[in-house]
Amino acid sequence: MTVSDGPHGVRRVADINNLIAASLPATCFPTASRMASTWDVDLIYAMGQALAEECIALKVDVVLGPGANMKRTPLGGRNFEYYSEDPYLAGQLAVGFIDGVQSKGVGTSLKHFATNNQEFQRLINSYDYGRSSDISRGIREAYLQGVVTPTTCMMNIRAHVPSWSRGC
């Protein structure tokens, strides 16, 4: 199984044992934040299909994406990978992307689920989400709705629910 980083294009090297080699030519698709500004789920679905066709051409089985974090601070170095600061909208747009990619038989892997809001020392910082029920509620309301909808969609697709059931 070959996995490629995404979702703004297929990053694939010719020799999978040399991951720092130059990538094979591929389309650079618009960022999630750019696509979200259209509010057009059908357009994002079509982009997902186009990305899946490139995955097939480059022999990639799963694309890593979309990103599901919310844009809660302008300091987030990966904000371009996320659709919106609104969990409902982000979830619906992610579903469009997932449905589009998976309609062609290519898998998706949701990434950056929640509170991925900083780049500085991001690998060594931690946060105790359980220390306050108010914080936990805020996390659920602000972040997790944008994760639950596309995750449910991915599980339905894997269970062979027809792709016409878009919106999961």
Domains within the chain, CATH numbers bracketed: 3-158 (3.20.20.300)
**What does the alpha-carbon distance between residue 43 and residue 70 come to, in Å, rounded to a whole number?**
21
Residues 105-141 have pLDDT tens digits of: 999 988 877 666 666 666 665 555 555 455 566 666 6
Q: What is the dihedral of CA 73, 75, 80, 85, to 10 degrees?
A: 0
**DSSP letter string, 12-70:** -BSSTT-TTSPBPP---PPPHHHHHTTT-HHHHHHHHHHHHHHHHHTT-SEEEEEE---
Q: What is the pTM of this model?
A: 0.77
The pLDDT, as a whole number, for residue 99 is: 92
